[in-house]
Amino acid sequence: MPVYESSPIGEYFYTLSFVHKNDTLWAKKGDVVATEQVFLKKVNGKNYKATGTISTTEDNNNIVVKAGDSEIVFSKQQATLTSYKIGGKNMIVAPVEFDLKSAYIDNHKGSIKRSFESNRMHLLTKASSSVKLQQIVGSNEQGALRVFCDTIYDNGRKQGFKTSIVYTILSDGSMQVASQAVKINTTPRYMHLPRIGLRMGINKDMQNVTFLGKGPFANYIDRASAANVGLYKSTVADWFEPFTYVQDTGNREKVRWLALSKGKKGVLFTSDEPLPMAVLPYTQDELKNAKHPYLLPKTSATDLRISAKVVGLGNNSCGLPPRDEFCVDFKGSLEWKFTVRPVEQMANVVQMGRQTFPTEFDFSHKHFDKNLKIENLKSLSKIETSKQKHNNVGEGSDY
């Protein structure tokens, strides 16, 4: 093994590849025949420091947070983030939403689809929601704001999920998005979900994609061995696979960070725990409604999905469904979180991707081992806004 320097911040892998020595009838010189990647070590990054001022205003409809050069808008009625502007340019143009949807991959049109739809998960609607605003004071009087967005989703049988998305916003416009989905009442543990995560619409001008994760091609939890962890660059359009029959595509596993950009500016999504991420020029509904690629509509926004877990491919188009460990089955609650940061200079994005959200403002949800029993699904219908000052807020709690 060659000697290498392993003290700088980052992750270290050893990648061994066998390649063609010469051109052949079926491959070119340098084409990979076999490859294997071995993780060696990780040198953790340091917390970044936020600078700037932060303030909030509100009316009957919205909570507006201004932080540094950013403006973030939350809808009280929808209980969700609806807009995220950097330097006056709207980066998040479609609301952040709880995401279970899928324009089923062919392999998932058997048992995955039957389980998902027989449990009426495709019929989930908002039963109630609430918004809560909290002011935080950290060390050196550094301030932050935290917005709690809670929603109950019901399938018409008092089954579904209670979701809690907690946005911790710092003075530079960066924010941590800590998410939790808790099954309610008699929602079964063993039902096949295509995915569970969040989705949002990103400004379609942000067409360049840079990410650190498994790639460069699409991969899934049970089809990722050939995809090495690396730093990859592409466009949003490259993530769409034009299958003869339109279906979901574009997933990348074990993503550490992903940036969408145009020119020097962009927006960065990072996670300390690698997550599945996907970007596509179409929403899942648009994919569902088009039989063939030429019937797809003109792109209105980039659909970004950041998931806690995405079901494996399996072989259900002509064989068995995904194995249990590759399915999105869980009891009680599931938690995942990521950070959103403005990028002023894309030349700095790799360094930014190695940095971590300030520990003193980190939020963690209380985990549930059992389903929540909620008899009155309208219990979150009252919009609540309360301002409180807290020091050294860390672990989350039921509020």
Q: Where are the beta strands (DSSP E) in the chain?
A: 10-19, 32-43, 54-58, 62-67, 70-75, 80-86, 89-99, 125-137, 143-154, 160-170, 175-184, 195-202, 208-215, 228-235, 252-262, 265-280, 302-310, 333-343
Indicate if the pLDDT at residue 211 is higher than 90: yes
Task: Single out the residue of 13, 328, 302 nearest to residue 190, CA to CA.
Answer: 328
Q: d(Cα 165, Cα 174) in Å, to the nearest integer?
A: 16
- Domains by residue range for the chain, with CATH: 10-43 (no CATH), 54-361 (2.70.98.10)
* pTM for the structure as a whole: 0.93
Q: d(Cα 151, Cα 157) in Å, to the nearest integer?
A: 16
b (16+ CB within 10 A) / e for 77-100: ebbbbbbbbbeeebbbbbbbbbbb
Instruction: Classify burial at 379, counting beta carbons within 10 Å of its beta carbon; exposed 0-12, middle 13-18, buried 19 or more.
Output: middle
b (16+ CB within 10 A) / e for 42-53: eeebeebebeee
**Average pLDDT value for residue range 253-263:** 97
Residues 312-367: tens digit of each pLDDT: 999 877 778 889 999 999 989 999 999 999 999 999 999 999 999 999 999 999 99
Please report, for the chain, how many H helices and E strands are present, in that order: 3, 18
Residues 262-283: tens digit of each pLDDT: 999 999 999 999 999 999 999 9
Q: Looking at residue 58, what DSSP letter applies?
A: E
Distance of CA 99 to the CA centre of its chain: 9
Residues 167-210: tens digit of each pLDDT: 999 999 999 999 999 999 999 999 999 999 999 999 999 999 99
Indicate if the pLDDT at residue 381 is higher than 60: no
Phi, psi (deg, nearest 5) at residue 121: -70, -20
